[in-house]
Amino acid sequence: MADKLQFDLTAAHKFFSTDNFNKSWEYIEKQDRSQEDDLSMLHAAIASLWHWSQREDVNAKNLSVGYWQVSRVFCLIGQPENARKYGLLSLKQAESLEPFFKAYAYESLARAEMLAHNRVVMKHYLEQALEWTAQISDEADKELLRKDLETII
């Protein structure tokens, strides 16, 4: 067995972090996912996050988005406890970031609590998400977030 890698590990992490993120996103947007699709969506989201964590250029923004995506996937497959865990990790990474990332971290937590039928906590997180949304300067980003927040009831 060769002692040296036969490929560029940095390039591999760069490729797989984005490729798996996009694959997971395709499943998120898919209308009629099968149970197999759900597993593929989850595996892709977690693989993306792991590859991001291995990149030399990883930062809080990348991790916040990665944790957010994993949280969303856990919501979609009906696992609010795991969604909450990753939502909290997203929020922790978003602490020093722009309002957009904080708002989406709170969005993921509100969605997890909605799924868990924790209405009081859900409303608290939803209020936090709305407060951070109001501070977003880019109107397209603000509208995207508002549309996502409207799906939390």
pLDDT for residue 2 is more than 80:
no
Closest CA to 133 of 101, 91, 92: 101
pLDDT tens track for 46-81: 999 999 999 999 999 999 999 999 999 999 999 999
Closest CA to 72 of 97, 94, 30, 42: 42
What domains are defined for the chain?
10-150 (1.25.40.10)
For residue 59, the surrounding DSSP H or E stretch is none
Q: What pLDDT does residue 36 have?
A: 98
In the chain, the amino acid numbered 124 is H
pTM: 0.94
